[in-house]
Amino acid sequence: MSEPSTDPRPSGPAASAPAEPRELPESPELPAAFVRPPRRRGVGPFSLRQVTLAIGVVSLAAILLTLATVPLGSTGPGLPVPNPGAFLLHSAEPGLRPGDLAPEFSGTRADGIAFQLLDLDGKPIRLADLRGKGVWLNFWTSWCPPCQSETPILRTMDQTYRDRGLALIGVQVQQTVDDGRIYVAKYELGYRIGADVAGDILRTYKVFALPTQFFIDANGVIRQVVNGPLDAASAAALVESILPPGPAKSAAPSSSP
């Protein structure tokens, strides 16, 4: 006699038939105004990539602006400090100071070769020949932006003070004579230009910035050194300080009572 089955599963035809899947009710579609767009990382309407790119462009522009306006190189304690806008050729070093006797525009290099500063016509420029005059030495190059902006001021100072005893000498640094002639023609310069093609005078005067100015009195003594460009007022004041004394003015006769 068999034992009754304890299997809870239903038997018969109904048990062998698979259960039909139940269909879930469809979710109602929301209007487009209520559909939230996918979230995008960024700031406002800009994506994170656009924001990053914009920050990079601004940072690069700031770096370039800094390099263009801040002098390169370094200055330590006791070293000359260049004016804002000066173009540095190298770091500052001890150089000529007010009270020093200005060196002549000639000498001998370390290899024993003699040098002499010549003008654009090949004629020698000698500081000894300028005794009795106030001498303004301006070291410059045609590719130097602060030198270019300062050139009209030098032209005006030359025209204003030449008859009062100013000898303005522009020392063109390490460029060809033709470069100097083109520059003179462009700016219509009347003062003398010395072509320091090999940089001998640059090293003699220990120039580290362009432009650099030396103001030398009638006795050949340096009265002021300016490492950088000058404005018109500063240039006029410095020129006035080195001009030779003019003829004494006679006192006006007094009228008798």
Question: Do 95 and 60 share a structural domain?
Answer: no
Task: Work out the pLDDT band at 62, boundaries 50, 70, 90.
Answer: low
Q: Would 181 be classed as within a structural domain?
A: yes
What would the pLDDT profile of 193-237 be if each residue is shown by its tens digit?
999 999 999 999 999 999 999 999 999 999 999 999 999 999 999
Question: Do 110 and 47 share a structural domain?
Answer: no
Mean pLDDT of 100-112: 96
Mean pLDDT of 124-153: 97
Helix (H, G, I), strand (E, B) or coil at 193: strand
CA distance 212 to 200: 15
Q: What is the CATH number of the domain that holds 210?
A: 3.40.30.10
Task: Characterize the bridge pairing of strands 222-227 and 212-216.
Answer: antiparallel
Whole domain around residue 122: which residue ranges? Answer: 87-242
The domain total for the chain is: 2
Question: Do 161 and 113 share a structural domain?
Answer: yes
Nearest CA-CA partner of 207 in 111, 109, 113, 73: 73
Q: Would 102 be classed as within a structural domain?
A: yes
pLDDT value for 247 = 54
Nearest CA-CA partner of 124 in 183, 196, 204, 181: 196
0.75 exceeded by pTM: no
Query: Do the Cβ atoms of 210 and 89 come closer than 8 Å?
Result: yes
Question: Do 92 and 62 share a structural domain?
Answer: no
pLDDT at 30 over 70: no
What would the pLDDT profile of 167-193 be if each residue is shown by its tens digit?
999 999 999 999 999 999 999 999 999
Q: Would 254 be classed as within a structural domain?
A: no
Question: Do 198 and 130 share a structural domain?
Answer: yes
Question: Do 208 and 98 share a structural domain?
Answer: yes
Sign of the torsion formed by the C-alpha atoms of 28, 34, 35 and 38: negative
- Pair of tokens at residue 79: 């070293």
